[in-house]
């Protein structure tokens, strides 16, 4: 094989393996969950929850956590930068929060409410089974499942080049060149079926917009 042909093949391989990504600059991620009790008998006994409203500007996140009983109100709110998490309290008192005065952050991995930040690999990922792709709510999803004696879990990955400041399991995003947007789990022991869905939107919540503007977060600064 001549040097010229070898060089050409290397160029092709490089361009084929390189993936252009787009980093989302601003938006919000809503996380919803439905919990179905006595699932084997039907899906009528259900409780629905709005788990989190994560508003982001570049890599900075304002997470609003709706009250589970009255989702039109916020139970709490957090500022998340990298792996640091600051408690902003309850709105509307926190509207005038000055980020520079916040102290004593906790690790985002220790946060107990709202969106889950694991920082770990998906357990038993090596035992996954690829299942047929599907279209849900007009979007194409790649799917795989992990089956254990206690729980069957299915993961829905939407192929995309857009990178968000929040992800559930980063290694899955890399492997599938997309992001997890839905997780379905069936607890075989307790007969409970749980869905977790992540929905992306472009507009910020008014509360988060006000905090961002108050703190002068332009261009992530």
Q: Each residue of 47-72: pLDDT tens digit?
A: 999 999 999 999 899 999 998 888 88
d(CA 46, CA 196): 13
Considering the domain architecture, whether residues 92 and 112 belong to the same structural domain is answered as yes
> What pLDDT, on the 0 to 100 scale, is given for residue 1?
47
Closest-CA residue to 19 (of 180, 162, 168, 167)? 162
- pLDDT of 16 > 60? The answer is no
- pLDDT of 100 > 80? The answer is no
> Does 172 map to a domain?
yes
* pLDDT band per the 50, 70, 90 thresholds, residue 188: very high
Closest-CA residue to 23 (of 56, 52, 54, 53)? 56
> What pLDDT, on the 0 to 100 scale, is given for residue 90?
66
Considering the domain architecture, whether residues 113 and 206 belong to the same structural domain is answered as yes
d(CA 144, CA 149): 17
> Does 16 map to a domain?
no
Higher pLDDT, 13 or 108: 108
pTM of the model: 0.82
Number of domains into which the chain is organized: 2
Considering the domain architecture, whether residues 158 and 66 belong to the same structural domain is answered as no
Question: Is residue 88 helix, strand or coil?
Answer: strand
> Does 11 map to a domain?
no
> Does 168 map to a domain?
yes
Supply the range of the domain harboring residue 57.
22-29+50-118+200-214
Considering the domain architecture, whether residues 137 and 193 belong to the same structural domain is answered as yes
Phi, psi angles (nearest 5°) of residue 184:
-115, 130
Beta bridge partners of 151: 187
> What pLDDT, on the 0 to 100 scale, is given for residue 141?
96
Residues 6 or more apart whose CB falls under 8 angstroms from that of 173 comprise 157, 167, 179, 180
Considering the domain architecture, whether residues 210 and 105 belong to the same structural domain is answered as yes
Of all residues in the chain, the percent with pLDDT exceeding 90 is 50
> Does 94 map to a domain?
yes
> Does 144 map to a domain?
yes
| Residue that the structure tokens 């299942």 belong to | 131
């Amino acid at each position: 094989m001549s040097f010229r042909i070898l060089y050409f093949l290397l160029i092709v391989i490089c361009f084929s393996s390189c993936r252009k990504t787009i980093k989302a600059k601003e938006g919000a991620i809503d996380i919803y969950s439905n919990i179905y009790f006595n699932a084997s008998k039907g899906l009528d006994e259900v409780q629905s929850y709005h788990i989190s409203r994560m508003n982001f500007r570049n890599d900075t996140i304002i997470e609003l956590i709706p009250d589970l009983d009255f989702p039109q109100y916020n139970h709490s709110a957090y500022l998340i930068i990298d792996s640091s998490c600051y408690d902003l309290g309850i709105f509307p008192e926190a509207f005038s929060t000055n980020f520079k005065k916040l102290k004593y952050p906790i690790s985002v991995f220790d946060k107990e409410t709202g969106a889950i930040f694991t920082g770990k690999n998906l357990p038993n990922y090596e035992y996954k089974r690829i299942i047929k792709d599907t279209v849900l709510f007009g979007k194409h999803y790649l799917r795989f499942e992990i089956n254990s004696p206690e729980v069957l879990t299915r993961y829905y990955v939407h192929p995309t080049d857009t990178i968000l400041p929040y992800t559930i399991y980063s290694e899955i995003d890399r492997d599938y060149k997309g992001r997890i947007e839905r997780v379905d789990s069936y607890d075989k022991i307790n007969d409970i079926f749980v869905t977790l869905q992540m929905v992306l939107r472009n507009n910020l919540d008014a509360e988060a917009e006000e905090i961002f503007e108050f703190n002068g977060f332009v261009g992530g600064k």
